[in-house]
Amino acid sequence: MRNTAAVAVEVTGSEPVAFENGRASLQTWRAFRREPLGMLALGILLLLVIAAVAAPLIAPYPPSYGDPVLASPNPQHWFGTDSLGRDVFGEVVWGSQQSILVAVAASAIAIVVGTVIAVIGAYFRRLDSFVSVLVDVTLSLPVLPLMILIAALVGPSTTTIILVVAAFSWPEVTRLVRSQALIVVQLPYVDAARLMTTSPLWIIARHIVPAVTPVIVVSVVVTASRAVLSAAGLAFLGLGDPNAWSWGRILYEAQQSGAMSSAWWLTLFPSIAILMLVLAATLLSVAYNDARNPRSRRR
């Protein structure tokens, strides 16, 4: 907390504005570089993003059928082939596109919506009790069954999945951001800002949102990794986009074809891909948190 307050009195130009200054983020980066697990996580994430972006260069798009059916991993097919003879390596590489796209898009929407609701609730105190009840109630709903319901009714497509995952991810963001925002709005600099302008929008955008940014950064990662798991869950139930490969869809097709129990490579490789993405994101957020907090920095 002291950190936020200290940052807040930093002066730029005529008006005090809360922000993470350049020096602080450089220190965070220096501390972060010394965390081996954090750097490893960052490396894995970069690798997965490169695989997603460069998918056409790495592997040809899996055709609708191929020759050796259910071949175990071999030099031609590193990850083996599935029950229609398609190359599993290609499916996993192309699947990274879909998984990362859904994670990024859904968490971006959830973060924006969740932050706006949290900050508005914290600033206009009369709305806050409504926001907190809404968040509590939404969080206690069985989320995956609701996602199944909507995806099945609307019809599975990438857009549907992104929107559905986002629609049920924002309360978690609101919960995290709200607790921080409630503290920030009581700091003296927000009162000072009220003396200088009458626009709550300006105060929220310029003074409150920057002060809760570190919490947002952490919740981006948490939300994105949960989004990966939710999207994979929907795809595993056959509610993924039928026109795009995703890791969940590989598992779904493996189960549908009945080859799941005999052809271990069909489940192993997409499972490892999901695990790596989620684990790397989690470790990254832990390392970022440690690096940002001066008290836990190793000197």
Distance CA 48, CA 237 (A): 24
Nearest partner of 119 among 241, 34, 29, 201, judged by Cα: 201
Determine the Cα–Cα distance for residues 289 and 245; give it in Å rounded to an integer: 34
Number of residues that bind other proteins (CB under 8 A): 39
Q: Nearest distance from residue 182's CB to other proteins, in Å?
A: 17
Instruction: Please tell me whether residue 215 binds other proteins under the rule CB under 8 A.
Output: no
Nearer to other proteins, 36 or 75 (CB): 36
Q: How distant, in Å, are the alpha carbons of 93, 104, 137, 252, 269 from that of 223?
A: 23, 9, 18, 23, 23
- Residues 75 and 265: beta-carbon distance below 8 Å: no
Site string for other proteins, 123-142 (x = CB under 8 A): ----------x--xx-xxxx
By CB under 8 A, residue 251 contacts other proteins: yes
Burial of residue 291 (number of CB atoms within 10 Å: 0-12, 13-18, 19+): buried
| Residue 201 makes contact with other proteins by CB under 8 A | no
47 binds other proteins (CB under 8 A): no
1 touches other proteins (CB under 8 A): no
Q: Which of 39, 58, 84, 154 binds other proteins (CB under 8 A)?
A: 154
Q: Which residues contact 279 (CB under 8 A, 6 or more apart)?
A: 41, 44
* Interface with other proteins (CB under 8 A), residue from 83, 213, 271, 289: 271
Task: Answer yes or no whether residue 36 interacts with other proteins by CB under 8 A.
Answer: no
Q: Hey, what are 166's tokens?
A: 């986002």
Q: Which stretch binds other proteins (CB under 8 A): 28-36, 57-65, 109-117, 280-288?
A: 280-288
Binding flag, residue 57, other proteins (CB under 8 A): no
Q: What are phi and psi of 208, to 5 degrees?
A: -95, -50
CA angle (241, 246, 249) in 5-degree steps: 75
Query: Counting contacts by CB under 8 A, is residue 44 touching other proteins?
Result: no
Please check whether residue 64 is in contact with residue 124, taking contact to mean a CB–CB distance below 8 angstroms. Answer: no
**Residue 87: beta bridge partners?**
81
Which lies closer to other proteins via its Cβ, residue 97 or residue 230?
230
| Stretch (H or E) spanning 113 | helix 88-123
Taking CB under 8 A as the rule, which mask of x and - marks residues 67-106 in contact with other proteins?
A: ----------------------------------------
Under the binding rule (CB under 8 A), the answer on residue 146 touching other proteins is: yes
261 binds other proteins (CB under 8 A): yes
Inter-residue contact 280 to 45 (CB < 8 Å): yes
User: Considering the rule CB under 8 A, would residue 143 count as an interface residue with other proteins?
Assistant: yes
Residues 276 and 93: their CA atoms lie apart, in Å, by 13
Report the nearest approach of other proteins to the CB of residue 164 (Å): 11
Binding region for other proteins (CB under 8 A): 133, 136-137, 139-146, 148-150, 152-155, 225, 229-230, 232-233, 236-237, 251, 255, 260-261, 264, 267, 271, 274-275, 278-279, 282-283, 286
